[in-house]
């Protein structure tokens, strides 16, 4: 089962509010999820992001892949994790190892 950390849209029309959830990659965006690990409100003046830090680290450690948007939120709020850096490095190193 491929697990993703992604945004689940909530709120009214034209007034989005997102919950950051851990979900099976095959489930729909607003469908069933495993666990809620935070919230994101883009309408506040500085965008408000709240995290359950220990649960984010747990899921990253166990192989959950954050989407690009969630990855950028992790970096912007300073919640970068060692797993994020390790995942990016081998892709870049694979091309230079063959040359």
Domain ranges of the chain: 3-94
**pLDDT tier at 96, thresholds 50, 70, 90:** low
Q: State the average pLDDT for the chain.
A: 82
The DSSP code sequence of 17-45 is EEEEEEEETTS-TTS--SEEEEEEETTSS
Cβ neighbours for 86, distance < 8 A, ≥ 6 positions apart: none
Please write the tens of the pLDDT for every residue from 28-58: 888 888 899 999 999 988 888 998 988 998 9
| pLDDT at residue 76, as a whole number | 86
Cα 81 off chain centre by: 12
Protein fold of 3-94: S16 Ribosomal Protein; Chain: A; (3.30.1320)
* Separation CA 40–CA 19 (nearest Å): 6
């Amino acid at each position: 089962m491929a697990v993703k950390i992604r945004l689940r849209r909530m709120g009214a029309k034209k007034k989005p509010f997102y919950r950051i959830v851990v979900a099976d990659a095959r489930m729909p965006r607003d469908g069933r999820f495993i666990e809620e690990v935070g919230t994101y409100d883009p309408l506040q003046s500085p965008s408000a992001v709240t995290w359950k830090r220990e649960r984010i680290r747990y899921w990253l450690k166990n192989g959950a892949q954050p989407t690009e948007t969630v990855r950028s939120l992790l970096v912007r709020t300073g919640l970068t994790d060692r797993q994020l850096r390790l995942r990016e490095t081998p892709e870049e190193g694979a091309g230079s190892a063959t040359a």
